[in-house]
Amino acid sequence: MTDPIRPEPVDLVRENRELRDKYDEALERIEMLERDVEALHDVGVYTYRHPLENAVAYQEALDSIKASIRQHIAEGRAIEVSTRFTFDNSLAKGRKMTADLAKLMLRAYNAEAENCVRYVKAGNLAAAEKRLTGAASSIARYASMMEMHISEKYHALRLRELALTADYQMKVQEERETAREERARLREEQRAEKELRAERERLEKERAHYAAVLEALAGTGRDDERYGLQAKIDEIDGRIADNDYRTANIRAGYVYIISNVGSFGPGIVKIGMTRRLEPMDRVRELGDASVPFGFDVHALFFSDDAVGVETRLHHTFAPQRVNRINLRREYFYATPGEVKIALAEIAGNLLEFADEAEAEQYRASEAMRASEAGGTAGTGARHSLERLMQGNAPHERVHDTGQVHGPR
């Protein structure tokens, strides 16, 4: 009988090296994936481990998990214990010792698990899971002589509890953000309705004034004046009809395309809509103290179906959304020119559209910084620029930056 051919030591070394290289590559890929997930969490992109409908559903799932955890503890299934361990040649003493040690092990593990649950967040879930798994391994290593360790099923329950807790916290945050955005939307609607009511009252007063003058001129023979007054009354009637139409048609309004180079950089636009009588009021509100510079308007487009136009634009640029989680944040990675093409395809010819952002205050601020960096040589240029800014106070130029026309 011949002996089997044994591999040469050189071959074994080479094979061992190749396996180690594959193992190191796998570890690098895992670390890379973990960094990618953490980076996505940092910019607001969170992937749910256990997608559920709302925070209530997560709370119910957590309650169920906690009940299972208590059941495992009560039934003694949280710790795997050897039944063959003896102490002083006695199985009974061995069982008592393992039972006492199991309590200590479980208390230490549960303390670590509760600490992880208490401090887990969407961005540190992987670290919390790694920490809890490390605690289970350490406990098992200390009790290896007695063949004791944390039950795999129990450990899986606590890991699921961690993931559900992180998901629950993120869902609560999302629901709060959604509620806050909904309150803002309702306030915007109320402002629009208030403005439309106030505008109708003003138009009615104006019409009553012209009607009274027209009645006073009856029989005076001043027909030219009466014709002019009647024309004004007819014009006001048309404006009242337009105002009533906008009040009744909640889909009518202005679609706006704006950008803020100084605050967000180039290549980002906001696409939204407002029912406000004066759409620039909404633009000015968006450029409040929360951003260092005001927004530049590229287009203000009135439509009888502004909601539909806005929705189609959002659908067109959906892959370029800045915030892929909160869809109420209407910012997109796109240039004004790209939005112009899409808006023209949806709405037809555009009367006016500003392709470039003026960003006056931002560009002036950068110029002042550049002149200051130049030292004394740039002082004169800075003073000249400041005088220029004082002589050209900021003012709205809607007719230069966007399309503003009434309902037709």
Q: pLDDT (tens digit, 9 = 90+) per residue, 386-399?
A: 554 554 444 443 33
- CB-CB contact of 297 with 258 (8 Å): yes
pLDDT, mean of residues 67-80? 89
Whole-number percent of the chain with pLDDT over 90: 24
Least confident range of 63-67, 93-97, 329-333, 374-378: 374-378
Q: What angle separates helix 152-216 from helix 223-248, to the nearest 10 degrees?
A: 170
Count Cβ atoms within 10 A of the Cβ of residue 214 and give its class: 0-12 exposed, 13-18 middle, 19 or more buried. middle
Is 147 strand, coil or helix? coil
* DSSP letters spanning 62-84: HHHHHHHHHHHHHTT-SEE--SS
Q: Residue 165: which of 58, 56, 42 has the closest Cα?
A: 58
The lowest-confidence range among 1-15, 85-99, 285-299, 327-341 is 1-15
Mean pLDDT of the region 124-149: 87
| 192, 277 Cβ separation under 8 angstroms | yes
**pLDDT at 357 exceeding the cut of 70:** yes
Provide the token pair at 10: 């050189």
Query: Nearest-CA neighbor of 257 among 318, 343, 194?
Result: 343
Model pLDDT, residue 311: 92
Say whether pLDDT at 256 is over 60. Answer: yes
Instruction: Provide mean pLDDT across the span 327-353.
Output: 87
- The answer to whether residue 239 scores a pLDDT higher than 50 is yes
When the pLDDT of each residue in the chain is averaged and rounded to a whole number, the result is 80
DSSP conformation class of 90? B
Q: Which residues contact 258 (CB under 8 A, 6 or more apart)?
A: 269, 270, 272, 283, 286, 295, 296, 297, 298
Predicted local confidence at residue 309, as pLDDT: 92
Closest CA to 407 of 193, 257, 251, 258: 251
Confidence class for position 407, pLDDT limits 50, 70, 90: very low
pLDDT, mean of residues 356-364: 90
Q: What is the pLDDT of residue 379?
A: 54
Is-above-0.85 flag for pTM?
Answer: no
Q: How far apart are the first and last CA of the chain?
A: 102
Average pLDDT over residues 236-256: 86
Percent of residues, the chain, with pLDDT higher than 70: 79
Per-residue confidence (pLDDT) for residue 335, from 0 to 100 = 93
Q: What is the pLDDT at residue 396?
A: 40
Per-residue pLDDT for 51 more than 70? no
Cβ pair 401, 357 in contact under 8 A: no
Please report which confidence band the pLDDT of residue 7 belongs to, taking 50, 70 and 90 as the band edges.
Answer: low
pLDDT value at 45 more than 70: no
Name the residue with tokens 């130049």.
374
